[in-house]
Chain A
Amino acid sequence: QQQVKQSPQSLIVQKGGISIINCAYENTAFDYFPWYQQFPGKGPALLIAIRPDVSEKKEGRFTISFNKSAKQFSLHIMDSQPGDSATYFCAASIWNSGGYQKVTFGTGTKLQVIP
């Protein structure tokens, strides 16, 4: 019930195209949904995040769409650029009895944007 399922595992998109990554979760107690971007040799970096009371959040070329009833959320990268080539992780977090936000990560999507 703590799993976050992410697809696709890899994605190749033409420069200027739209990249779409999907995630699904089971635990309705999750209350924060961040997306992380990871370049080779680097740790994951927070890209954009959303709370379940909002259906969409946009920051520049990156948009999260959130469907609470379906327990699904997705990342859309508009006008994809070669510099966006990285691994993207969706995540969901919940306040843990140990007194911290426990983050459950998806398995990652390796995005390659080709010129």
Chain B
Amino acid sequence: ETGVTQTPRHLVMGMTNKKSLKCEQHLGHNAMYWYKQSAKKPLELMFVYNFKEQTENNSVPSRFSPECPNSSHLFLHLHTLQPEDSALYLCASSRGPQETQYFGPGTRLLVL
């Protein structure tokens, strides 16, 4: 158990739906990340938060909106997604932004 939990584990949504992914870390870390994992492609970094402040938005479309209310929680709000957004969305955390990242189990998202 890595101490990083994600809910839901699976999500199916239509292109007009609004949904949110939740990540919680119990490790006392200060940095949190969202990654996208698609089949046969490298993990893609989406967002980085350090002490609740967003320090990276890796050219992610605005239909993905992150929120970090505190160092333990991270959300990814989804709105009007496209079928090509179907993927495994992974949350990670690290003690500091220069430290090793620990991943959650991911949310498997299917956009119909």
Contacts and interface: CB of A to CB of B under 8 A. Distances in A.
Nearest to A9: B40
A100 B42 CA distance: 19
Given A41-B105, A44-B103, A98-B48, A104 B42 contact: yes
Given A43-B2, A45-B103, A107 B42 contact: yes
Nearest to B41: A107
A43 B89 CA distance: 9
Contact of A44 (B40, B90, B97): B90
A43 B100 contact: no
Contact of B48 (A43, A44, A100): A100
Given A4-B42, A43-B4, A101-B98, A96 B92 contact: no
A89 B105 contact: no
Contacts of A42: 105-106
A103 B100 CA distance: 10
Report the interface size class on chain B: 20 to 34
Interface residues of A, number: 25
Contacts of B48: 98, 100
A105 B2 CA distance: 20
Contact of B98 (A9, A34, A41, A95): A95
Contacts of B105: 41-43
Contacts of A78: none
Interface string A76-96: 000000000000010000011
Interface string A1-25: 0001000010000000000000000
B43 interface: yes
B57 to A, nearest CB: 9
A99 interface: yes
B2 A45 contact: yes
Interface string B20-42: 00000000000100000000111
Interface of A: 4, 9, 34, 36, 41-46, 49, 89, 95-96, 98-108
Query: Which 9 pairs show the lowest CB-CB distances between chains A and B?
Result: A100-B97, A43-B103, A105-B42, A98-B55, A105-B43, A98-B56, A44-B103, A101-B98, A43-B105
